[in-house]
Structure 1
Amino acid sequence: MGRVKNIMDKVLSGACAFLLSFMTLLATYQVITRYVFSSPSTISEDLLSYSFVWVSLLGTALVFGQKDHMKLSIFSDKLKGVKQFALSFFTELLIMSIAIIVFFIGGTKVVGVGSIQISPTLNISMEWIYIVLPISGVLIVVYNFINIIQLVQQFTKSKKEGIL
């Protein structure tokens, strides 16, 4: 599982780095065309918006995979042993449920709607923009499975060593 997670981390980190670099170049181009040539580019504006959505959702999946998401540690810091394990397990299941319902199921419906919409400036089907929703949902769910497996392994190891 660690190998799969490492590969996913590298691919997502690379994709996010590429998108951020692309967005920086696009924003620079946008500023130059707007203020130097007084002719703003609508294509670059749309590409920036869509790239921002993609980097945000792919970055979200990466953050959940690395367990760097925001959390209230007021409760989890006070819990130890089985209670802390149960809370962590429940949290992973809750995140997984939200990812399935909102990102995968909802995102799939949005992709369906996007298949009949065309981006006016880019002249492409909006399903290519919206496809990131179910993709990020699947990535989050895969990360949740990996996190749960690692959590159970840690708990089992701690129990065997008599730490709990």
Structure 2
Amino acid sequence: MERIRTLLDRSIQAVCCLLFITMVGVASWQVIARYVLNDPSTVSEAFLRFSLVWLSMIAIAYVAGSREHVSLTLLTDRLTGPWKTTFDIFIEILFIAFASVILVFGGFQAASNSMSQIYPMLNVPKGALYSSLPAAGGIIILYCTINCISIYKEYRNQHGHHEIRRQES
């Protein structure tokens, strides 16, 4: 499971870094074209807007999968043992439900409905922009499934060792 997480992490990091570097280059070109050449680029602004949406959605999926998102831990900090494990898995299941319904299903609907509309400056379907929603949702579902398995394995390993020690005593 850790190999899958590592591969997924590295792939998402590479895509985000490549997209960010491309955005910096395009933004730099836009500034040069506008202020040095006095001929502003209209395509660059549209590309940056499009790229920012994709970068944001992929980065949100990465952060959610890494369990580094903003969360209120008032309750979970007080829980221990099976209660903490159950609650942690429940939170991951809520993420899966949200990603499935809102991001994957809703995003697919939005992308499908807008595929016939063309993003004028880039000459691509607007559905390509909305496709970032189901893509991010799929990544979140994959990460949350991996998280559920990891949480359960960690709990089982901790309690398995305690049971062995009790039997040896």
Shorter-chain TM band: over 0.9
Match of 1:19 in 2: 19
Match of 1:29 in 2: 29
Match of 2:69 in 1: 69
CA RMSD in angstroms, aligned pairs only: 1.2
Pick which of 108-117 and 124-133 moved more: 124-133
Provide Cα deviations, 1:45-102, integer angstroms capped at 9, x if missing partner.
0100011001101111111221111111222111111121121011101111100011
Partners of 2:74 and 2:46 in 1: CA distance:
41
Match of 1:149 in 2: 149
* Counterpart check, 1:158 vs 2:140: no
The amino acid across from 2:76 in the alignment is S
After TM superposition, give the deviation of residue 33 of structure 1 in Å.
Answer: 1.4
Partners of 1:91 and 1:35 in 2: CA distance:
50
Match runs of 1:1-164 below 5 Å: 1-162=1-162
Segments of structure 2 that go 5 or more residues without pairing to the other structure are 164-169
Aligned length: 163
Segments of structure 1 that go 5 or more residues without pairing to the other structure are none
Partners of 1:153 and 1:142 in 2: CA distance:
17
Partners of 2:39 and 2:73 in 1: CA distance:
50
Match of 2:166 in 1: none
After TM superposition, give the deviation of residue 158 of structure 1 in Å.
Answer: 1.2
Percent of aligned pairs sharing the same letter: 31
After TM superposition, give the deviation of residue 37 of structure 1 in Å.
Answer: 2.4
Match of 2:167 in 1: none
TM-score (norm 2): 0.92
Partners of 1:32 and 1:139 in 2: CA distance:
36
